[in-house]
């Protein structure tokens, strides 16, 4: 299906869907038919009343909670729970109220605009076209190169930006964002980072892919706010690959799925997708120069190092923890927000086919990290826009600390 027919798709409506938080070990008892993160009824099904989906998990006080989206037909099952809390009684109303596109946060009074690109607000979530306009217009005002590295299933360009802050230095800092479509704070944060790197004239070279998954991101704006994967072949009932399960690092292992209906579907083979092939190729070409790599996700408030696929420590465990500690301190000093640190497998969950593990293990980039931005599951993927700037500033502080630690270059405020 091409992008024209996609753009006239009917937006997905979550009216009457409940978002509920309950202890994870209660889930099989209340929903015995539910298979992990897989939708109980296939995506695109007309019968959305019967849908059930795990949106995220939260670790709190040694307990694991699951946040589920329940179609109206499942609501009555909560009566058998020993305790739960409703996060939203009507997910669509919640999306509409303040967390959807183009709705200004009531609390935010001061506009924060780019000083480099006209009419571009940094304190709003921006659709793909606007993000690409920002990148393209930067070329006229800053020492950057913006170039296409590939094309998606639906024919959209995947854009990379290179910032040359120090032409004498061959070393590069890699940052990517938006591999998962619904994690809107991720592109908003990387744009802020680009802006700050240029405004502060940081003496560092960056290579970034701000929107790793352009089809998915567009789809999350136009059709389904909670879309995660790269949509493909929308005529089929289930589709899309979790691009962060598609890398050649313990592919098909624990924490990924070979079920195309799963949110964690790994794809038919490593690098089966145009997005992972394009980004993987760029990283592979530049791997000798990349000294620090960071992948931006949301949410959980976590800075993580490899492995994702194995709970055993890597040979670099001690060095990674030193960098993560420096990041954690710098982040905390910004707004007093605490982020957890540690290997992804022991801090969040075990997952296979991650770009972070592939960069570390296959591409030989010793300092490869992943950040899960705000929050810890109150708003989750629907983080209000008034948290964009606070999240982005603390993340930039963390990245500057990592650059100082790994590259020994200081970036001013």
Residues classed as catalytic: 372
- In whole angstroms, the minimum distance from the beta carbon of 228 to Zn ion comes to 7
- Containing 146, the helix (H) or strand (E) segment is strand 144-151
Q: Which residue lies nearer to Zn ion by CB, 142 or 304?
A: 304
Q: Which residue lies nearer to Zn ion by CB, 54 or 326?
A: 54
- In whole angstroms, the minimum distance from the beta carbon of 180 to Zn ion comes to 4
- Segment lying near Zn ion (by CB under 5 A), choices 75-83, 93-101, 174-182, 217-225: 174-182
Q: Are 115 and 195 in contact (CB under 8 A)?
A: yes
Q: Are 276 and 153 in contact (CB under 8 A)?
A: no
Backbone φ, ψ for residue 289 (5° rounding): -95, -20
- In whole angstroms, the minimum distance from the beta carbon of 229 to Zn ion comes to 11
Number of residues that bind Zn ion (CB under 5 A): 2
- In whole angstroms, the minimum distance from the beta carbon of 68 to Zn ion comes to 18
Strands laid side by side in the 302-305 sheet: 144-151, 157-164, 205-209, 172-177, 290-298, 368-373, 302-305, 340-343
**Interface of this chain with Zn ion, residues 294 to 323, rule: CB under 5 A:** 297
- In whole angstroms, the minimum distance from the beta carbon of 197 to Zn ion comes to 23
Q: Which residue lies nearer to Zn ion by CB, 21 or 180?
A: 180
The secondary structure of residue 128, as a DSSP letter, is H
Q: Is 153 in the site for Zn ion (CB under 5 A)?
A: no
Q: Is 180 in the site for Zn ion (CB under 5 A)?
A: yes
Q: Is 182 in the site for Zn ion (CB under 5 A)?
A: no
Q: Work out whether strand 368-373 and strand 290-298 pair parallel, antiparallel, or are unpaired.
A: parallel
3-state secondary structure of 401: helix
How far the first Cα of the chain sits from its last, in Å, is 46
Q: Which residue lies nearer to Zn ion by CB, 216 or 384?
A: 216
Q: Which residue lies nearer to Zn ion by CB, 120 or 212?
A: 212
Q: Is 124 in the site for Zn ion (CB under 5 A)?
A: no
Query: Distance (Å, rounded) from C-alpha 74 to C-alpha 386?
Result: 33
Residues that bind Zn ion (CB under 5 A): 180, 297
């Amino acid at each position: 299906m091409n992008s024209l027919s996609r753009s006239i798709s009917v937006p997905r409506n979550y009216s009457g869907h409940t978002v509920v938080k309950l202890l994870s070990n209660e889930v099989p008892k209340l929903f015995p038919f539910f298979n992990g993160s897989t939708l109980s009824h296939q995506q695109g099904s007309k019968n959305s009343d019967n849908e059930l989906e795990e949106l995220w998990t939260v670790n709190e006080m040694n307990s694991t909670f699951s946040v589920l989206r329940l179609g109206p037909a499942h609501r009555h099952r909560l009566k058998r729970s020993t305790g739960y809390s409703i996060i939203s009684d009507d997910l669509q109303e919640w999306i509409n109220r303040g967390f959807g596109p183009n709705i200004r946060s009531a609390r935010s009074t001061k506009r924060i605009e780019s000083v480099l690109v006209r009419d571009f607000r940094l304190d709003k979530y921006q659709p793909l076209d606007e993000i690409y306009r920002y990148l393209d217009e930067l070329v006229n005002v800053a020492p950057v190169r913006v170039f296409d590295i590939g094309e998606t299933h639906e024919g959209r360009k995947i854009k990379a930006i290179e910032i040359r802050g120090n032409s004498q230095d061959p070393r590069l800092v890699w940052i990517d964002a938006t591999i998962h479509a619904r994690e809107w704070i991720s592109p908003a944060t990387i744009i802020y980072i680009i802006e700050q790197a240029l405004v502060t004239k940081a003496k560092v070279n960056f290579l970034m892919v701000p929107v790793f998954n352009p089809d998915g991101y567009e789809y999350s704006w136009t059709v389904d706010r909670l879309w995660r994967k790269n949509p493909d072949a929308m005529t089929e009932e289930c589709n899309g690959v979790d691009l962060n399960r598609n890398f050649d690092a313990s592919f098909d292992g624990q924490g990924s799925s070979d079920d195309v209906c799963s949110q964690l579907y790994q794809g038919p083979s490593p690098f089966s997708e145009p997005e992972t092939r394009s980004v993987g190729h760029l990283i592979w070409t530049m791997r000798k120069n990349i000294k620090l790599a960071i992948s931006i996700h949301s949410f959980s408030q976590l800075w993580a190092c490899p492995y994702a696929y194995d709970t055993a420590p890597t040979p670099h465990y001690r060095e990674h923890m030193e960098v993560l500690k420096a990041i954690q301190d710098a982040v905390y000093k910004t707004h007093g927000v605490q982020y957890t640190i540690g290997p992804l497998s022991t801090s969040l969950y075990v997952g296979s086919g991650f770009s972070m593990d592939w960069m570390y293990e296959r591409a030989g980039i010793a300092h490869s990290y992943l950040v899960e931005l705000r929050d810890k599951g109150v708003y989750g993927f629907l983080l209000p826009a008034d948290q964009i700037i606070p999240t982005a500033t603390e993340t930039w502080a963390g990245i500057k600390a990592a650059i100082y630690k790994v590259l020994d270059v200081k970036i001013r405020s």
